[in-house]
Every structure is written in C-alpha cells, then in structure tokens.
Amino acid sequence: MAAAAEEAAGSGGGGSPSSARRRLRIISGHLRSSPRAPEREALSLSPCKAQGGSTGPASGSIPRKRQELLKWNGWGYNDSKFIFNKKGQAEFTGKRYRLGGMVLPTFKEWMEKTFGASLDHKTTSRATLNVNDVPPSIVKEEFLQDLRATKISYSQDAEDRVFRAHGHCLHEIFILREGMFKRVPDIVVWPVCHEDVVKIVELACKHNLCIIPFGGGTSVSSALECPEEEKRTIVSLDTSQMNRILWIDEKNLTACVEAGIVGQDLENQLAESGFCTGHEPDSMEFSSLGGWVATRASGMKKTIYGNIEDMVIHIKMVTPRGIVEKNCQVPRMSTGPDIHHFIMGSEGTLGVVTEVTIKIRPVPEYQKYGSVVFPNFERGVACLREVAKQRCAPASIRLVDNAQFQFGHALKPQVASIFTSFLDGLKKFYITKFKGFDPNILCVATLLFEGDREKVLQHEKQVYDIATKFGGLAAGEDNGQRGYMLTFVIAYLRDLGLDYYVIGESFETSVPWDRVLDLCRNVKERIARECKEKGVQFAPLSTCRVTQTYDAGACVYFYFAFNYRGISDPIHVYEQIERAAREEILANGGSLSHHHGVGKLRKRWMKESISDVGLGMLRSVKEYVDPNNIFGNKNLL
C-alpha cells in the first residue's frame, strides 16, 4: 500500500479529505481540551515569545513528545489506523477522518486479489522501541553548558532522538519496525523563536557541531537520515515549537508566520480571521511551513494558489554566515537571481528557515467536488491537456488510472441503506452497460472547485463540457470526494500492508504533456518487469495518477506496492525496483522530482539532471554559506 508518505516538508499532490475544515475543527477541538495546555503556557511565557506580537493563541498541534500523538513506527495519529476486525473485515479506527469507524466490506478481497496477500500471513512490528539499541548520545559538556545558558529546551532522551532520525521512506519505517538506525541525532533542541535559532547556530559553529533541521518529519527522500559517517555531535533542530502567526496584513493579504507551524494549524488559525493560504499538500496535517520552503513543496490546489515558490513573499533564514533575507516585502523584484531560489529546495543544507511571509486569501465562499468517468486513460489525459490548454483547471483536477479507481472502490464503506446500494447499482449499470465503458479500463478524474458560488457553477459547466468532448461522463460529487479522501488515508494503508507482507511507496515526477501517456505506460511496465525479474511472486500494484496540470506538462504520481513473501531481502529488492522505475522516468523525459525533493535518495541523478556546471553552482553557494558544513545532512549535493 503505497505508502505515500508525502514529502516531509510537505508537498504532495494533493489532498485533504472531504471537508478539510471539519477535520481541522475536530483537531483544534481536541487540542483545546488538551491536558498539555500548561506546558504550552510555560512556553509562551518565555521572553522570546513575549516579544513577538503574535496574533492568536500560539498552540501547535504537534507536541514536543511527538509519540504521544503520532505513531512511532508508522504514519499519522496513534488512534487512526486500518485494522481487520474480528469478522475479518477491514475497518478504519478513530474519529479524525470521515472514514473513521467505518467498515470496508470489499477491501479484504481487493487486497487478496491485488497482492495475493492473506490474513493468515502476518508480520508484526516490535511493540515498542528498544531503548538499549539506540546509539548513545555523545555531546560535549562545554556545549551543554552553553546551551543551558540560552535556556533553550533540549533533550537527550533516546526516543526523542530516534523519532527525529527518519522520515517516512519505506526503508526507514522498516527499520523502525524491525531494526535500528546506525546513526541518530545526539541531542534534540526546541527553539521557540528566530533568536533561539540564531543562538543555536552560533553555538554549533563555535563547537563545530552538525545541525539537521527537523520540521514535520514527513520526508520521503531520506532527507532526515543522519549520515552514518558523521563524527561530530548531531543536533536535531526541531522547529515544531516555533509555530505562531506573527502578524496578518489584510491590506496586502500577507501573513508572517514562524516556520515550524504545521499546515493544519496554519490554515486553522488563519481561518479564524477568515483567511487561508490554500497550500494543501497531502501531508498538511503534519508537514511544516519551513519544510515546504526547504523542499519546494506543491499543494493540490496549486492551480488557484500556486506552489510554494509562488506564495512566498519573504523568507528569513539563519545560516552559519548569518541571516539571509530581503529588505522588503514586494511581489517581485529584479535584483539578480532570486535568493529565495537558493533557499527553496535547499533541503536543510544551508540553514534554518525561521520566518516566512506568505500570501493569504479570503476563505472561499463555496467548494464543490466533482468527478468524471472516461472510457480509458488516454482520453482522460487528452481531456486534462485540453483543460490546461484553456487554462480553466479547477482548484484541483486529478486523473486516476483504472487500478487506482478500483482501489478507491475497495475503500467504499458499507452502504447505509438499500436505496443507496440500488442507486450505486443503477449508476454502474448505466456506465458499463448503457455507455459501454469497460470497468477494467475506464478511469476517473476527480475535481474540486472553489470560489464564489456562481463562478464555481459556471466553471463547473465549462469543465464538464470539455470532458464531454473527450467521452467523459459526470460521475457525481461523492466519487470526487472519496478520491481526495483516498490520497490521505493511503498513507495509513502502508502500515496495514506492512503487517501482511506488502510493501510499497509512492514517487512522483513532472513530464511534458506529449510524453505523459508513454511515461505512465512504460514506468508501469518497467515495474512489472523488474518485479518479475527480481522474483516477486505476485504481479505488483503499480498505478498512477495525473495530479497537477500546467501549461507545459503535468505532475504524475505513482503508487507501487508488492507482496514480498518469499523474498529474503525485500527492502533491497524494493530499492532496486524503485531505482529502475526512476531510470525509466528519466529515459521517458520526466524530471527527477516534482515536489518530493532529492534528499539522499535521488542524489545520484543530480548531475544528469542539472549538468556538471549546475551542480557546481549549487556547490559554490553551499561552500560560501556553510564552509564548515554545519548543516551536514548531506542532502542534494
């Protein structure tokens, strides 16, 4: 189950579930009654916090002890997961998501059919972290003394350190379940404001330490892994406590926000003033603003709001050389190459992003989901291309292939009444029998429209008219909504898969329009072939969706998962196949990454991607900004 841990610092082809806002409300409600309130009080009493004229309450969703709220060896919240209940039916626990508490009657069959997985063959993760296995924390006393003097909170606790030693790549989760990282941070620090970060970086320079910034921890590029050969003390700089909105400027529609804020808090708090950023990567519950900036993130509603590079007005970053920022907050300037572009995508190799001024928009008046069924994937892509050409893409438009359509079906909850199931049957009959769509070929586009009511309806009609030209049939709001839900629960599914010998992951690329079909077909075929060659017993699930449209191309997102029973070293096999798939993408004219970033996972292709000279340019920036490699996470270069 393709675990799609979306990029750490954010990113993601997409989205929030049905009603993102409802979810946010639930979460914020949960937080208001949180017993951790006093601690937060204490934090906000610190002098640093007091200075910043913060608007609204400075409450972060993610506690210092992440494991209290989040799984330590999997994705997302402790209380939310897929299980097989006593009747052997799949069920999603918890109350955070719309799917919570619902039974998914067809899921088990789908899983057995797709992966040849069986409930009888189970693997189990270790129940808790074995603290004795964790590499010891080696920190010099002089540094600790200096650190204590700054009053910045820190921890050398084994759990704290391990939970900041990884992102959500498959191999990282596998290690958590069954092994131990060779290298983890020696100490975790929690700065609460920009000044704290300045002090930490100064100390790191003074004592020659290695800093690895940590935001939401949702990286899927091995970006958070500690380089094994790093001999210096590794300081994990957790930005989660720098999470206030410092100010909102309604005249210019901008907000200045501390970089540690996670997506849901940002949207939640802005919503209280009637605003939003509109940046919604799939990981938005957990990924942080600073992480988005550091990886060049993309949100599912980028058609309206833009990608992170379009949203950012001003960035403050602390580097070993000092602070880098622009002198004004303007929409555009011609002052040589944009220094923001050195920062965005730097993946923590240059410094720590502390404060970001970001564009905000009034919360849209009206939202509407939609979906269109196409007779086949080719027609679907042609339709998306036409939509892009006419520049009338809705807030989000995604095209899932047949395998993913069937996957979505498997996640359909038990229907409440006979009437609904009758209606479903009727719909199915109409599409497959009356319209002659082959249920094993057809594919679905999901849509999300946003804006004022009248315009949305107008826009909707325009898009459906285009779709009709390509043989598309409107398939209702409900299907659209479920499509978006699928993309965030899919990350939870990987954990379930891992329990039943199924491993998987997602990866993404961007590609010119004319190569979309060839790329999708060839990459899937390559995966199937590689699996076969590597001795995978069952055909893998390899499925894709087009998640973003641009003028000149599209972003394509792949899920890939297989049953690894009978393979002695599944992770190695998995990595070989993923590598082959990436080779295939590059050979088909796709990019190394659209929004997940490079990290350490995709470094080997950097030279090919940006040329020798290009790589040299980036290196020279790194050498100037950070000559002693304080930010030594070894990403990117």
Partner 1 sequence: MAPPITRCPRPPPRLPQRSGQPSRGGAGQWVPREVAAAGRPLRRGRAAERGAGRRGGARRTMAAATAAAAPGRGRRGAPMYSKELTSKKRDEFEDILEERRLSSDLRYAMKCYTPVIYKGLSPCKPNAIKSAVLQSEQVQYVIKQLAKEMGESSDIIQEEAMEILDEMGHNMQLGAVRFFAFTLSKIFKQLFQRVCVNEEGMQRLQHAIQEHPVVLLPSHRSYVDFLMLSYLLYTYDLALPVIAAGIDFLGMKIVGELLRRAGAFFMRRSFGGNRLYWAVFAEYVKMMLRNGYAPVEFFLEGTRSRTAKTLPPKFGLLSIVMEPFFKREVFDTYLVPISISYERILEESLYAYELLGVPKPKESTSGLLKARRILSDNFGTIHIYVGQPVSLRTLASGRINRCPYNLVPRHLPQKPSEDIQEFVSDVAYKMELLQIENMVLSPWVLVAAVLLQNLPAMDFELLIEKTLWLKGLTQTFGGFIEWPDNLCAKKAVMSGLTLHSNIARLVDGHVVLNDKGVEDGAVGEIVFKHALAILMCATYRNQLLNVFVRPSLVAIALQMTRSFRKEEVYNCFSFLRDVFSDEFIFFPGISLKDFEEGCFLLTKCDAIQTNQQEIYPTNKGSVIISFLSTMFRPFVEGYQLIFRYLAKEAKEAFTEKQFIPGVRNFVFQLLEKGNTQCYEALSSDMQKNALAALVQLGAAKKKKMSNGFTYNVNQEAINKILDMFDARIPVQKPVAARL
In the complex, minimum distance from the CB of residue 556 to partner 1, in angstroms, rounded to a whole number: 14
**Token pair recorded at residue 389:** 């050409």
Q: Does 629 bind partner 1 (CB under 8 A)?
A: no
**In angstroms, rounded to a whole number, what is the distance separating the alpha carbons of residues 123 and 126?**
10
Packing angle, helices 516-533 and 570-587, rounded to 10 = 150
Query: How big is the CA angle at 187 (ends 186 and 192), to the nearest 5 degrees?
Result: 155
Letters for 514-543 (x = contact with partner 1 by CB under 8 A, - = none) are xx--xx-xx-xxxxx---x--x--xxxxxx
Catalytic residue chosen out of the listed positions 97, 492, 501, 557: 557
Stretch that binds partner 1, among 92-100, 279-287, 340-348, 510-518 (CB under 8 A): 510-518
Q: How many residues bind partner 1 (CB under 8 A)?
A: 33
Which residue, 117 or 601, has its beta carbon nearer to partner 1?
A: 117
Q: Give me the amino acid identity at 278.
A: G
Q: Is 277 annotated as a binding residue?
A: no
Q: Give me the amino acid identity at 125.
A: S
Which residue, 452 or 514, has its beta carbon nearer to partner 1?
A: 514
In the complex, minimum distance from the CB of residue 402 to partner 1, in angstroms, rounded to a whole number: 5
Which residue, 260 or 540, has its beta carbon nearer to partner 1?
A: 540
Q: Does 406 bind partner 1 (CB under 8 A)?
A: yes
Q: Is 295 annotated as a binding residue?
A: yes
In the complex, minimum distance from the CB of residue 541 to partner 1, in angstroms, rounded to a whole number: 6
Inter-residue contact 293 to 259 (CB < 8 Å):
yes
Inter-residue contact 621 to 342 (CB < 8 Å):
yes
Contacts of 398 (CB under 8 A, 6+ apart): 13, 14, 300, 445, 446, 483, 545, 546, 547
* CA neighbor of 471 nearest in space, from 554, 546, 368, 386: 386
Which residue, 101 or 535, has its beta carbon nearer to partner 1?
A: 535
Between residue 581 and residue 620, which ones bind partner 1 under the rule CB under 8 A? 586-589, 608
Q: Does 134 bind partner 1 (CB under 8 A)?
A: no
Phi-psi region of 382 (alpha: psi -120 to 50; beta: other; left: phi over 0): alpha
Q: Is 351 annotated as a binding residue?
A: yes
**Is 559 a known active-site residue?**
no
Which residue, 119 or 587, has its beta carbon nearer to partner 1?
A: 587
Which residue, 310 or 525, has its beta carbon nearer to partner 1?
A: 525
Stretch that binds partner 1, among 52-60, 258-266, 395-403, 596-604 (CB under 8 A): 395-403
In the complex, minimum distance from the CB of residue 488 to partner 1, in angstroms, rounded to a whole number: 22
**Token pair recorded at residue 344:** 């965005």
Applying CB under 8 A, among 117, 343, 403, 445 the residue interacting with partner 1 is 403
Q: Phi and psi of 579, rounded to 5°?
A: -65, -45
Inter-residue contact 268 to 24 (CB < 8 Å):
yes
Applying CB under 8 A, among 22, 32, 95, 113 the residue interacting with partner 1 is 113
Query: Where do we find the tokens 């991607």?
Result: 609
**In angstroms, rounded to a whole number, what is the distance separating the alpha carbons of residues 303 and 15?**
13
Query: How big is the CA angle at 477 (ends 286 and 392), to the nearest 5 degrees?
Result: 80
Instruction: Using DSSP, state whether 57 is helix, strand or coil.
Output: coil
Applying CB under 8 A, among 114, 240, 303, 547 the residue interacting with partner 1 is 114
Inter-residue contact 7 to 219 (CB < 8 Å):
yes
Between residue 434 and residue 473, which ones bind partner 1 under the rule CB under 8 A? 440-441
* CA neighbor of 13 nearest in space, from 460, 550, 412: 550
Which residue, 114 or 633, has its beta carbon nearer to partner 1?
A: 114
Q: Is 128 annotated as a binding residue?
A: no
Catalytic sites, residue numbers: 557
State the binding site for FAD. 213-219, 295-298, 347-353
State the binding site. 213-219, 295-298, 347-353, 494
Chain residues binding partner 1 by CB under 8 A are: 113-114, 116, 401-403, 406, 440-441, 514-515, 518-519, 521-522, 524-528, 532, 535, 538-543, 586-589, 608
